Structure 1
């Protein structure tokens, strides 16, 4: 039991350090480095969900992958983006979390959604700005719920993949939607 706790702590620490390094680079106007390789998105989604479940054993995450899901992207960065969105859903949401990956034509859409109190509409325009948080209190209290660069980094990763990220929140459901080309024509 104590080994598992230590491993979860090490994973969280590594994630924090990685996030701080990315945050520092992007704030210094340095391009986010990406390494595009061909691969399917299903494994990336399942690995991200497994990592979050390891840190949050009570998290209920459903993963669905449909359509044409082969593409060219940076596996580590897309995994980081998904982990950031899933951790956000665990910390600020309630109930089941769903992660959907849908490939159609030249586009891949990733959607992470959770139940819970909605994000106030006034907070949505700045949600992806560095070191901001919606005005609602987190569901969990402690160091893991502190204001961090996760959503800002998610936006940087989406942009590095020539994509977009948006948030919506209504009727007790919050949804983050990432759209990236399956085969980007150029790297930013």
Structure 2
């Protein structure tokens, strides 16, 4: 059986091998379905089979062996695969390993089916390797272009977002050094500088946490202690209001709000959620935060009125470099931006053994955080006592 025929006839077995390898591509694979992990594998394999059957000149063979093509098709399965893997937070090494594993599994399965291979099959193996290398080159090219674009966009947006508060602080400094101000005007300028400093501090904190997760830390470090979350929530409301003075924030407290958490981390999480709600909510309508506990968890809900978020956007709203477009563009979904606030909020919730979800319906957008009332050490101790009692 020719290799091209084998690929088409034994596609299911080959794709099963692909699935097994794709599941090891953590942490990106942890939140992906098998359909998403398989991506364009079948289309790429069928394109490889067609390529093997297609006649080629020595020049075309040499170009392909060097990983080049005169006019690569941006819609080819390999190019689309590279784009999707970048969007799913795969690393370049993981993308490369997929093709290496695919090559190995196809040749291994073909050898099992074919038995002893005469010298004549060498040409087919070479054609297969060239086609795989070409697909890999196309995927890496697209992946790298997307990565470069994301970095450039990140730098541009960071500069844009910092320019506003820096300009405000610079203007305040110029006024303070050139004129004699009444006390009330000086206080007003002081509040303006404080708001700008808070905004930049929050951005720098998010950048540091994002860098920490990218450098390989499994979870953000937390230092849990027993606290009353009513105090943490009140401070978060105060800080969010200072950064968004045009928005009204309301706090609705329930009962059983004691929990073993890192108060600084939870404060950061809440300020990020409140700031996001203040930015994207309907002007003139308040942002509400409801907090209540039960036997095991404390639920913190941040609710704002606003345009409904599309379902496909909700699925990616906690990804870094993604956030809703403000104003009238919100209905169009998400756009590349610095947008690290929701990503960091999710990482903080996970570091506490909790969860965070987003819902958009009925003209309201709601983010719900659930944090265990007991810290990691307390949960282990409680489990040991239950086991001893049993």
Q: TM-score if structure 1 supplies the norm length?
A: 0.92
1:25 corresponds to 2:217: no
Larger Rg: 2
Distance 2:339 2:314 in 1: 16
State the secondary structure of the residue aligned to 1:128. coil
Between the aligned partners of 2:323 and 2:241, the Cα distance in structure 1 is 23
Runs of 4+ in structure 1 deviating by more than 3 angstroms, as ranges, are none
**Quick check: 30-39 or 79-88, which moved more?**
30-39
Task: Give the structure, 1 or 2, with the largest relative contact order (CA under 8 Å, sep 6 or more).
Answer: 1
SS of 2:289 mapped into structure 1:
strand
On the 8 A contact 2:320/2:338 being kept in 1, the answer is no
Alignment correspondent of 2:183: none
- Which structure has the highest helix share of the two? 2
Secondary structure, in 3 states, of the residue corresponding to 1:77?
A: helix
Which residue number corresponds to residue 150 of structure 1? Answer: 341
Displacement after TM superposition at 1:71 (Å): 1.0
Number of equivalenced pairs = 181
Which of the numbers 66, 70, 88 marks the counterpart of 2:258? 70
Note the residue ranges of structure 1 that are not aligned, 5 or more in a row.
Answer: 141-145
What are the superposed Cα offsets for residues 26-60 of structure 1, whole Å, 9 maximum, x if unpaired? Answer: 11221311110111000100100000111111211
Give the aligned partner of residue 143 of structure 1: none
| Residues in 2 aligned to 1:70 and 1:107: alpha-carbon distance in whole angstroms | 10
The alpha-carbon deviation at position 128 of structure 1 amounts to 0.6
Partner of 2:359: 168
> Structure 1 CA distance, aligned partners of 2:233 and 2:196?
21
Secondary structure of 1:39's match? Answer: strand
Unaligned runs of 5+ in 2: 1-187, 329-336, 380-390
Candidates 120, 124, 143, aligned match of 2:310: 120
* 2:327 aligned residue (119, 135, 139): 139
Any idea what SS the aligned residue of 1:67 has? coil
Task: Tell me if 1:14 matches 2:201.
Answer: yes
Instruction: Describe the superposition over 1:63-94 as per-residue Cα deviations: whole angstroms up to 9, x where unpaired.
Output: 01111011110001000000000000011111
**As a proportion of its length, which structure holds more strand?**
1
Distance across 2 between alignment mates of 1:73 and 1:184: 6
| 2:238 is equivalent to residue 50 of structure 1 | yes
- 1:61 CA drift (Å): 0.9
Superposition deviation, residue 100 in structure 1? 0.8
> Are residues 1:41 and 2:229 paired?
yes
1:178 aligns with 2:369: yes
3-state secondary structure, aligned to 2:232: helix
CA distance in 1 between partners of 2:213 and 2:193 (Å): 30
Task: Quote the residue 2:22 is aligned against.
Answer: none
Aligned partners of 1:81, 1:139: CA distance in 2, in Å?
23
Deviation at 1:139, TM superposition (A): 3.0
2:289 counterpart (85, 92, 99):
99
